Every structure is written in C-alpha cells, then in structure tokens.
C-alpha cells in the first residue's frame, strides 16, 4: 500500500490479541481494522448482528479465518460484547497458524550476504486439543478454549477430525450441543466455515448460524462462484461481503482525495 494511501489512516489505530502464556500474538494493521470496524459498527448500531454468524467463502484461500478473528477482535474491543471465534474448518484449519507468528531466525549465507530466514517455532498453541477433542469426549470445552488478553474475546481452534468422520461430525447433535453451550456464555459466536464449494459439509456447518458474511478475494473469485455459494446457503440472511486483498488502480493524487473514513 502506498504511503499516500496510508496517510488517510491512523497508523496508531491497530488492534492486537495476546494470551497470558505468551503463545498467542497477532496484530492487525490499522487499514484492516478500519474496514472491519465500519462493518461492525453498522451491524451493531442497526441491531442486526445475531447470536451466531457464519463467515463463508466460495473457494479456499479467501481469508475467512483472518476476517473472522479481525471482526471478532474489533467487536470485543469496541462494543464490550463477549465474542468467541469457533473454527469449524477441519478441511483446511488455519487459526493456529494465524495466531502463532513466533519464529526463530536462522542466519543463512547466500552469495556472501547474510539473510534472515523465518523458521517455525513450536509453542503452547499446538497443545490445544481444539473442538475435535471436545466432540470426541477426550477433553472438556474449557480445555479447548484459547483465552485472550481481553476478558470478552476467546477462540476455539478446529483440531483434527479424520476425513471419514467429517460428514457425521458436521451434522452431529454433539456439535449442536457444544454451540448451544457456548451461546449461553457468549453474546456472539463467529463460525469459521470451510469453503462452500469444497465440501457439502460446509452447508451443514453454515446452517448452524443465524446469518452469514461472505468473504471473497477481490480479482480472484468469480461472481459466478460467489453466487453459487450464496445459493447453497440461501436459507441464511446475508449481512455483508468482505473483499480481501483489494487493489485499487488509480493515481495517488486522486486516491488522496477519497475519504478514508
């Protein structure tokens, strides 16, 4: 993003989420939070944010997990509501990777120049059993919850479910019971749903919500793909669309005249 574009954004207006054990850390840039905050404000001021919201996408790689965490963090920070992000994506889980940016730096030599190469560093986040551990009866719900530094913002990673058991898990009474229990403890659950066009189980999982928010990668996802995904979950109320990785091709001097609030 150009310097001129960022002049319209309060660069101090970032939001970060941490955990007391130090294993959890993620900072969202001001421009991302500013866009998410606009949607969050509209939903809350108009009292149209239901208890359960599914974040969906037509295809993989649209940024559903990133959007869910950013939206949940913004809602918790700005409104004081109790928010829990529930990852239901056993096909391509991304919450742990998103929330665990800790790396160790290895110095490598290339053409006589030292460069830093990030390598993954194991942390306590990997020890969380996830929702799958709860559904299997091996762990309690409290053990699966990642508590953040905000008293009203928690997260539950998906964990691992064998491929053969995913269809039955997505439609199981035990999953509904867990979500019902969470709904008594939180004002809003944001459900991280796998790509709609990837598996029919996504439709069953999305149906566990009262409404949905569609996430799309601008310039990569076709309108037809998004429309098919919406047709698959047409029983849900659509609250809005989030465009990720938006690229606006206009001269900087024109862009500087566009209000950023």
CA angle 35, 239, 217 (to 5 degrees): 55
Tokens 């310039």, residue located: 219
Tokens 């970060």, residue located: 16
Which contacts (CB < 8 Å, 24+ apart) does range 171-179 have? 171/201, 171/204, 172/135, 174/135, 175/135, 175/208, 176/208, 178/131, 178/134, 178/135, 178/141, 179/52, 179/86, 179/208
Residue 77: pLDDT band with limits 50, 70, 90: very high
Phi, psi of 55 (to 5 degrees): -100, 120
Tokens linked to 159 = 């964990």
What is the value of pTM for the model shown?
A: 0.79
What SS3 class is residue 253? helix
What pLDDT does residue 252 have?
47
What pLDDT does residue 109 have?
40
**Pairing between β-strand 83-87 and β-strand 211-217 as defined by DSSP bridges:** unpaired
Taking the C-alpha atoms of residue 49 and residue 190, their distance in angstroms, rounded to an integer, is 10
| Domains, the chain, ordered by start | 3-255 (3.40.50.300)
Mind listing the pLDDT tens digit for each residue in 111-145? 444 444 443 344 556 667 899 999 999 999 999 99
């Amino acid at each position: 993003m150009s310097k001129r574009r960022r002049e319209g954004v309060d660069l101090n207006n970032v939001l970060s989420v941490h955990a007391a054990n130090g294993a959890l850390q993620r900072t969202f840039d001001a421009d991302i939070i500013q866009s998410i905050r606009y949607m969050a404000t509209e939903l809350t001021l108009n009292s149209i944010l239901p208890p359960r919201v599914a974040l969906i996408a037509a295809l993989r790689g649209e940024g559903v997990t990133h959007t869910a965490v950013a939206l949940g963090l913004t809602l918790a920070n700005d409104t004081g509501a109790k928010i829990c992000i529930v990852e239901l994506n056993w096909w391509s889980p991304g919450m742990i990777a998103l929330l665990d940016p800790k790396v160790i730096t290895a110095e490598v030599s290339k053409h006589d120049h030292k460069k830093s190469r990030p390598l993954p560093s194991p942390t306590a986040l990997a020890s969380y059993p996830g929702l799958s551990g709860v559904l299997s009866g091996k762990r309690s719900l409290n053990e699966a919850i990642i508590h953040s530094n905000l008293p009203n913002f928690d997260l539950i990673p998906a964990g691992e479910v064998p491929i053969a058991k995913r269809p039955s898990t997505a439609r199981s009474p035990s999953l509904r019971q867990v979500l019902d229990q969470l709904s008594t403890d939180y004002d809003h659950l944001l459900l991280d749903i796998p790509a709609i066009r990837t598996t029919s189980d996504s439709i069953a999982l999305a149906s566990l919500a009262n409404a949905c928010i569609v996430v799309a990668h601008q310039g990569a996802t076709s309108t037809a793909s998004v429309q098919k995904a919406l047709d698959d979950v047409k029983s849900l109320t659509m609250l809005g669309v989030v465009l990720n990785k938006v690229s606006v091709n206009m001269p900087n001097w024109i862009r500087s005249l566009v209000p950023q609030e």
